[in-house]
Amino acid sequence: MKICDKEVSLVGLGTWGFGGGYWSEDYSEDNKYIDILLFAYEKGINLFDTAEMYGNGHAEELIGRALKDYQEKVFIISKVWPNHLYYDSLVKSAIKSRERLKIRSIDLYLIHWPNRNVKIEESIKAMEYLIDKGIIRCMGVSNFDVDLLNEAINSTKKYEIVANEIEYNVYNKWAEKDLIPFANKNGVKIIAYSPLGKGRVYYDEKLKEIGKKYGKTSVQIALNYLIRNSIPIPKSANKNHIEEIMGSIGFSLTDDDYEYIKKL
């Protein structure tokens, strides 16, 4: 699969919690997270999702340190916080994120959450400036419903909205009704955060039962379901879990099993 003319893995890795939490840094486990990021890359994940808010930018720094030798081979997504959506603030945020990531261009830069106090046209104009300057390669949004996504698309002048990152999992399939069809029609990729339902899929007996048919775990079944319509980005700092995540690729649910999960 390609985003912004770059090949990406069918699943990515989320980095919320790497190097701290909500606008707060934690340097105590840096080596662990760097090791995990490299391990994920070695196992075939080349899409890494982060944000300026994660660890107050420290998650970006960890990605920059871990993957500095693989710039051309990895696909980095970062996001700008909603109180930075005014033109000048957005530009400054992107420049700072790029510096922390130590890359020439952020592959995909997203508006993390909408902010009705800032006109979407102003934010999109800043994003297009960033593309012109090579600070970012492509732009997108996150947590946008159909109306907001349509508004963002109609605000563009020079470049396209290429992705919308949303919460999407087997327990939260709201997007399948309207948003995903609309995104597909407009060439917008769906990126799925919280794809494991904050851990619920690990204990789901129905998914476990389906998994027996395929020799797969409930996690692998849940992710494979999402791969049809999105790029799931589970977050993990555990090597065994990352190997399990990669086992969600390389097989396809039957239509009957897919429809069964769709109705759960």
Catalytic residue IDs? 54
Alpha-carbon dihedral 92, 103, 1, 51, rounded to 10 degrees = -40
Cα 218 to Cα 34, 171, 194, 204, 260, distances in angstroms = 28, 13, 15, 7, 14
Please say whether the beta carbons of 108 and 136 come within 8 A: yes
H helix count then E strand count, the chain: 10, 12
Length of the chain equals: 264
Alpha-helical (H) ranges within 9-163 are 30-42, 58-66, 87-101, 120-132, 146-155
| Lookup: tokens for 230 | 């999105």
